[in-house]
């Protein structure tokens, strides 16, 4: 099975490798020094210009999550003040995610994730009633121009963002997973036979009683070879459609012989996932802390494991094991009790104790299985967790600055090195450079890059063609901008 994966705007190359690769294409040493200085100034400018955003996020998060009310403004307890603070924090957070080239999770992403199983083939249910929906519902209701198209059902309870795509491969015997697949197949086939037999009985009864038969409807036989997780086929980049193989036990086939053979499976991953939510507390007048968590390399089919407040159910194999143990144990216990009751009442009491012992074994077996599943999920998330709360904010701010930096530098580089271009040609040039130097397939966000070049006074526009000033002049423009952030040079102390 294949899925089509969209080419996002995220440029994943580390900033030092990005600069070194561009410098390696410049032969003249003096020009290379000027371009290096150009990169340093751009990096400093974007770090400074996003300092206020980072400060507001830091202050608002601390204020909203503070348990010590003395450290917060005097009117923080008022509903209006608290709502305004939450709205500002959420607005800044969403701006941060967008500029860092994160994409909000859509219902299509959820459908792709739910259509397959990977390593965690666990029945997981999310208890959405434990999430506080007041904060996000109020924020989105007050915003204009926000599209509700293809938003997931839980959009008012938790924000989920993703960025980048990778591939996770695993090879092993996968004995338990294969047994679960075989047991599930037996149960499904058995249920199908029972339903088919029941349908035949009902049809025969209708014939005997002279009732008209129900019309048979043919299901739509059209099928897809894969699931398209791209942006509705719309493409603004040079790259061919990217298909990723999705290999699960269902596709490779499971048999009794395969239990003793190694099997390789594969699943595309979300390279980075960030979630923001707040849970409910017993007292409706108070609010719990806002939680922010970041994860890496989450297989799409295992996406639900990153959600909090999840309940893990039993696998078919464990249900069958407990059912067999319970039936056999209770059968033996009942037989002993009936036999013992006829011989000796004391022995009957012992038999009753045996039955209760089997019942306790079933209960503890269920709890042990559930705890084992919870441990597996917790251990996996521990290894994939990037950071939490303020640590995530600091990480995202740095990531935002890097993305903005790379977009501006790359667009300037292409116009400076290859000459005047229109917007489409510049878009393609930037994507070709990323592909040639870094083997990266990126849907370059050219319109945003042009806006930033204009903001920095580094873009010239004439007759539909864009150009940039030479390096020396660009350095003077940026140096002047840096010098004039604060204008106190004429201040004389008295």
pLDDT tens digits, one per residue of 364-388: 766 776 677 677 778 888 889 999 9
Domain boundaries, the chain: 175-214, 316-370
Q: Crossing angle of helices 51-65/29-49, nearest 10°? A: 30
Q: Is the pLDDT of residue 402 over 80?
A: yes
Q: What percent of the chain has pLDDT over 70?
A: 74
Q: How confident is the model at residue 321 (pLDDT cuts 50, 70, 90)?
A: low
| Whole-number pLDDT of residue 177 | 75
Q: How confident is the model at residue 193 (pLDDT cuts 50, 70, 90)?
A: low
Of 175-179, 452-456, 474-478, the range with the lowest mean pLDDT is 175-179
Q: Is the pLDDT of residue 361 over 90?
A: no
b/e map 216-242, b = 16+ CB within 10 Å:
eeeeeeeeeeebbbbbeeeeebbeeee
| Whole-number pLDDT of residue 230 | 43
Spatial distance between the Cα atoms of 12 and 272, rounded to a whole number of angstroms: 11
| Whole-number pLDDT of residue 71 | 45
Per residue in 221-254, pLDDT tens? Answer: 333 333 344 444 344 778 888 888 888 887 788 8
| Whole-number pLDDT of residue 346 | 67
Determine the average pLDDT of the residues in 111-117. Answer: 86
Determine the average pLDDT of the residues in 280-288. Answer: 74
Q: Between these two residues, 124 and 324, which has the higher pLDDT value?
A: 124
Q: Is the pLDDT of residue 286 over 50?
A: yes
């Amino acid at each position: 099975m294949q899925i089509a994966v969209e080419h996002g705007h995220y440029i994943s190359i580390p900033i030092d490798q990005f600069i070194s690769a561009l410098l390696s294409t410049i032969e003249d040493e003096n020009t290379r020094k000027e371009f290096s200085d150009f990169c340093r100034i751009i990096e400093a400018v974007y770090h400074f210009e996003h300092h206020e955003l980072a400060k507001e996020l830091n202050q608002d998060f601390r204020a909203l999550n503070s348990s010590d009310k003395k450290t917060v403004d005097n009117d923080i307890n008022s509903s209006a003040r608290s709502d305004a603070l939450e709205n500002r924090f959420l607005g800044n957070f969403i701006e941060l995610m967008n500029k860092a080239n994160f994409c909000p999770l859509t219902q299509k992403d959820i459908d792709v994730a739910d259509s397959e199983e990977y390593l965690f083939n666990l029945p997981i249910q999310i208890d959405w009633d434990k999430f506080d929906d007041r904060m996000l519902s109020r924020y989105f209701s007050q915003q204009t121009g926000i599209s509700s198209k293809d938003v997931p059902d839980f959009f008012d309870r938790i924000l989920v963002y993703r960025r980048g795509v990778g591939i996770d491969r695993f090879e092993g015997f996968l004995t338990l997973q294969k047994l679960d697949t075989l047991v599930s197949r037996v149960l499904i086939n058995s249920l199908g036979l029972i339903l088919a037999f029941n349908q035949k009985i009902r049809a025969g009864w209708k014939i005997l009683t002279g009732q008209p038969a129900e019309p048979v409807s043919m299901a739509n036989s059209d099928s897809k070879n894969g699931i398209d997780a791209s942006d509705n086929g719309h493409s603004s980049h040079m790259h061919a459609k990217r298909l990723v193989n999705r290999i699960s036990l269902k596709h490779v086939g499971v048999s009794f012989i395969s239990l003793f053979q190694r099997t390789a499976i594969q699943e595309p991953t979300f390279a980075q996932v960030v979630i923001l939510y707040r849970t409910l507390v017993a007292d409706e007048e108070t609010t719990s802390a806002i939680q922010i968590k970041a994860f890496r390399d989450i297989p799409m089919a295992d996406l639900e494991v990153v959600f909090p407040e999840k309940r893990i159910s039993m696998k078919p194999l464990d249900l069958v094991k407990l059912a067999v143990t319970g039936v056999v144990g209770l059968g033996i216990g009942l037989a002993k009790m009936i036999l013992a009751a006829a011989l000796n009442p004391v022995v009957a009491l012992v038999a009753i104790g045996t039955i209760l012992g089997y019942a306790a074994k079933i209960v503890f077996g269920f709890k042990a299985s559930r705890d084992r599943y919870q441990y597996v999920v917790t251990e996996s998330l521990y290894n994939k967790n990037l950071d939490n709360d303020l640590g995530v904010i600091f990480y995202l701010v740095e990531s935002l600055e890097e993305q903005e930096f790379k977009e501006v530098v790359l667009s300037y580089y292409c116009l400076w090195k290859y000459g005047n271009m229109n917007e489409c040609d510049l878009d393609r040039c930037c994507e070709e450079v990323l592909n040639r130097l870094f083997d990266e397939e990126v849907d370059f966000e050219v319109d945003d890059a042009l806006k930033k070049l204009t903001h920095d006074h580094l873009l010239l526009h004439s007759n539909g063609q864009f150009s940039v000033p030479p390096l020396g002049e660009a350095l003077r423009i940026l140096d002047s901008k840096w010098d004039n952030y604060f204008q106190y040079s004429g201040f004389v102390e008295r």
